[in-house]
């Protein structure tokens, strides 16, 4: 049962990491209309604040994935 929970958590972290990475790249592309931004900002500019936010979430997701994979490997060796 614990292995199923760990697998679900691992796959969830991987999906969240990929989504954060894609959103980071989305806000990095200039001259397209970025939907969820404040009203006073120009929606076609590069939004570095969002790139940093989603990029850091992607990095945290990679770190979390590595930790979960290391835990899984440690359990298999027992």
Residues 6+ apart with CB under 8 A from 75: 3
pLDDT > 70 in the chain, percent? 94
**Residue 24: domain span:** 2-77
pLDDT confidence tier of residue 58, bands split at 50, 70 and 90: very high
pLDDT over 70 at 3, yes or no:
no
Greater confidence (1 vs 77) lies with: 77
Number of domains in the chain: 1
C-alpha–C-alpha distance, residues 27 and 34, integer Å = 7
pLDDT confidence tier of residue 2, bands split at 50, 70 and 90: low
């Amino acid at each position: 049962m614990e292995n199923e929970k760990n697998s679900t958590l691992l796959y969830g972290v991987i999906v969240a990491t990929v989504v954060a990475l894609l959103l980071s790249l989305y806000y990095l592309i200039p001259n397209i209309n970025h939907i969820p931004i404040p009203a006073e900002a120009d929606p076609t500019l590069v939004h570095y604040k969002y790139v940093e936010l989603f990029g850091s979430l992607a990095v945290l997701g990679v770190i979390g994935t590595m930790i979960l994979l290391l835990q899984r490997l440690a359990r298999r060796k027992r």
